[in-house]
Structure 1
Amino acid sequence: MAPYQHYYEKPGYVIAACMVLSVIDIVVVVLRIWARLKKKEPFKADDWFIIPALLNTLGIGISMTFAVSQHALAYRTVIPADFRGSTTTLITPQIILASQVEYAFGLMLCLGLGCVKISILSFYLRIFSVTRETMTHKAMVGLTALIAAWMTAFFFTNLLVCKGNFWAYWSSAVNLQKFCPGTTYKSLVFAISDFITDVVILAAPIPLVWRLNMPTKRKIAVSVVFLVGAGSVVASLIRMVQIISLFRKGFNPNDDEIYLITTNLYWGMISCGVGIIAACLPTLHSLPKHWNLLTIVDSARSILKMSSRRSLLDDTDHPDTRGVAVGRPYTQNAGFSNTSVRLQSKKSYQHSLKPEEFPMDDLRGYEVV
């Protein structure tokens, strides 16, 4: 009986995820760079780290797409008609290519996810850290150092998983278990730690945003921008659940090896791709105002209010109201300011930041309460 094939194990879905996310990631990173150049601002740490994150994500997408084109991913394992041995000893070009792509994926995933996390934390550090003496600054620096160590440790763990016997990784399942012990366990630890750090990084800015002295609707809008990264958290959660299930079940010769590899790579690609979008979205503040997310939301709300008002006026035979402007840009009185921001902690000390040091114009002019 042929094993059930989930949607994320099918060729069309795999290629679509790789191509769509790769294109979107390129667009948001280019827009991020353009926004920096447009305002003549220097590149900061969060900008630099997003570039290797993008390159590794593109590497994952390209390698997966190539593997699918060669039927090494998203297709059933092909067993030669004249093969009579155990499938655990089977070695075919299909299995070799799939395993090689999986090995490269493990290295690129560590670097890609690590750089995305560091980029986001560096961004937080620039927004919410007023001085080096604050607990926020120390917490962000400590978490960034932890992520850097996490990325480095797992990169070399994956690189040397077979203790120099690289050929064993793209050999038979028997050789993999013999020369690369604990592969599934290491994948499990990586997946769990990836999910936990994603949750911590996703939740970190929310209480800081809600401490700002700004209108509630602005806090909600800014929080939504930060919570775009929830998509990456969901992808890492699904990937973690898949690996935990595999770990509990143990090795099963009836499982299709190609499908298992495809599942692992698919959700890793989703996690990296969405992570880059989440890291870039808050920094695209220098785009034209009609591209600004908060402005679009506010304009849409104005249009709905005006439509409702017109309906009421029509019901009361009010004179024609055509020509009334329904979309208004944000002004300084609406909560935006291009001047230096002043943040005030509960200890009542103040510190001014230069405009170029505070990348989210939407938060300027508000105090910490």
Structure 2
Amino acid sequence: MTYVNAASMSAVGVLFPVLAVLALAVRVYGWRYHSPIFEVDDVLVIPACALTVAAGVALVIRTQTHLIGANSQAESTAAESLKLGKFEYALWIGHVLAIGLIKLTILFMFRRLFKGRAYRTAFDYANWILVTLVALWTVAFLFLDIFACGATPSASWESWNSLRNACIDTFGMQTGCAVFSWVLDLAIFVEPLVMIRTLNMNKKRKIQTSLVFLCSGFAVVAGLLRMILWIQATIQDITRSIITVLGTTFPISDQQGIISVVLFWTYIEIGIGFLVACVPRSAWVLDKVSLGPVLSKLRLLPSSVSLLTKKYRRSPRGGKDDMGQTQGSWATTLQPEPSWGHRSNDDVGLVAVNGRV
């Protein structure tokens, strides 16, 4: 194995579930204290998080039991191959559901931010088209993953020969799934970029929006790598003795190594996609984490220390009384202004579209 091994598989299997739970918690906190209106994306993100966490836990468990994250050994038993086939079958079904829910969460989040208020806009139509395409993609490939071997799904994990003879071309099916998924990722990435010119927001909001676009770019790259992997696996003749995917060469008999690479990049796409789906709803919480008061205190600290030192030196008794007075002055200087009951205009919403909030 190269970069995909037991350590890297366990790392992504632990990292993304932890980040997913934290992102969902911040998202819920921001929703509760800023805009407690339950939108469609707030509903879809819950099963998406559950699937993301479940897939990561499954990766870690199967890596620690040496089912994935290593190379197939000559002494591998038929029982181990059977377990690997069942695990792969379940993961393909789960990955379609997870990616589909994540895409729909992002699209409905865009709809909440950019949709027209009084009339239908070009964005409304484009967004509904993408929602429909993602829903069709999810249903179609979920059906194909479940019934790739017809009425006998066990043929997909019983043996390599049964998979080739009793099922449809699963390599071609997964390649088509990855290609269509990446095309949809690209469309979802471009959609808000077209709408950015209509936004009316300050510099802080532009930074937050740029963060969303940057994360979306990472998801597009992850989807692209997974697509390239499947294309390489499909166009190579499986009757040869070796196969090369993403610069890594495996013996064709090394099913464990090949599947580990595919699952690695598939889960990275799921994990990054879920984090992208949570960033906009979490922006309000990030907006409240301001460094302004801290920076103001740091700027005032040298002058306050200098004033304290001078008064201490002028005091004949070591500045006991002046010290107390100076400390009171210091406390007054560094005391942040009270903001109870005050709410800035930035708290109204993440963006204003065409001058309307």
Using the size of structure 1 for normalisation, the TM-score is 0.76
Q: Which amino acid aligns with 1:99?
A: G
CA contact (8 A) 2:199 2:352 kept: no
Aligned with 2:9: secondary structure? helix
Q: Secondary structure at the match of 2:154?
A: helix
- Residue 217 of structure 1, CA deviation: 6.8
> 2:108 corresponds to which residue?
122
SS in 2 for 1:363: coil
Q: How many pairs does the alignment contain?
A: 321
What is residue 11 of structure 2 aligned with on the other side? 16
Give distance in 2, aligned partners of 1:137 and 1:229: 20
Which residue number in structure 2 is paired with residue 367 of structure 1? 355
Amino acid at match of 1:270: I
1:52 matched to 2:47? The reply is yes
User: Hey, what does 1:279 align to over in structure 2?
Assistant: 277
| Alpha-carbon displacement from aligned partner over 1:83-105 (angstroms, at most 9, x marks no partner) | xxxxxxx8622211111111111
Amino acid at match of 1:200: A
Contact in 2 for aligned 1:188/1:243 (Cα 8 Å): yes
Pick one of 31, 35, 51 that aligns with 1:36: 31
Q: How far, CA to CA, are the matches of 1:239 and 1:273 in structure 2?
A: 13
Note the C-alpha offset of 1:172.
Answer: 2.0
Q: Which has the higher contact order (CA 8 A, sep 6+)?
A: 2
Measured after TM superposition, the shift of residue 329 of structure 1 is 12
- 1:203: how far off? 2.0
Q: 1:113 to 1:142 in 2, by over 3 A?
A: same
Q: 1:201: which partner in 2?
A: 188
Contact 1:226–1:282 under 8 Å retained in 2: no
Question: How far apart are the structure 2 equivalents of 1:363 and 1:194?
Answer: 28
Extract structure 1 runs of 4+ deviating beyond 6 A.
305-311, 322-325, 327-333
1:202-281 matches, within 5 Å, as: 202-215=189-202, 218-251=205-238, 252-253=240-241, 254-255=251-252, 256-281=254-279
Q: 1:21 to 1:129 in 2, by over 3 A?
A: same
Shift in Å, 1:220 = 4.6
Q: Assess if the C-alpha contact under 8 Å between 1:188 and 1:247 holds in 2.
A: yes
Pairwise CA distance, 1:181: 2.5
Give the conservation status (yes or no) of the 8 Å contact 2:45–2:105.
Answer: yes
In structure 1, distance between residues paired with 2:80 and 2:24: 34
1:209–1:222 contact (8 Å) kept in structure 2: no
How far apart in 1 are the matches of 2:86 and 2:288? 47
Q: Does 1:161 align with 2:148?
A: yes
* Higher fraction of helix: 2
> What do you get for the CA RMSD once the two structures are aligned?
3.2
Unaligned runs of 5+ in 1: 81-89, 339-360
The Cα shift of 1:257 comes to: 0.8
Distance 1:220 1:33, change over 3 A: closer
Match for residue 109 of structure 1?
Answer: 95
2:84 to 98, 103, 109: 98
Q: Could you tell me whether the CA contact under 8 Å between 2:114 and 2:353 is conserved in 1?
A: no
Q: Does 1:336 align with 2:324?
A: no
- 1:61–1:328 Cα change, 3 Å: farther
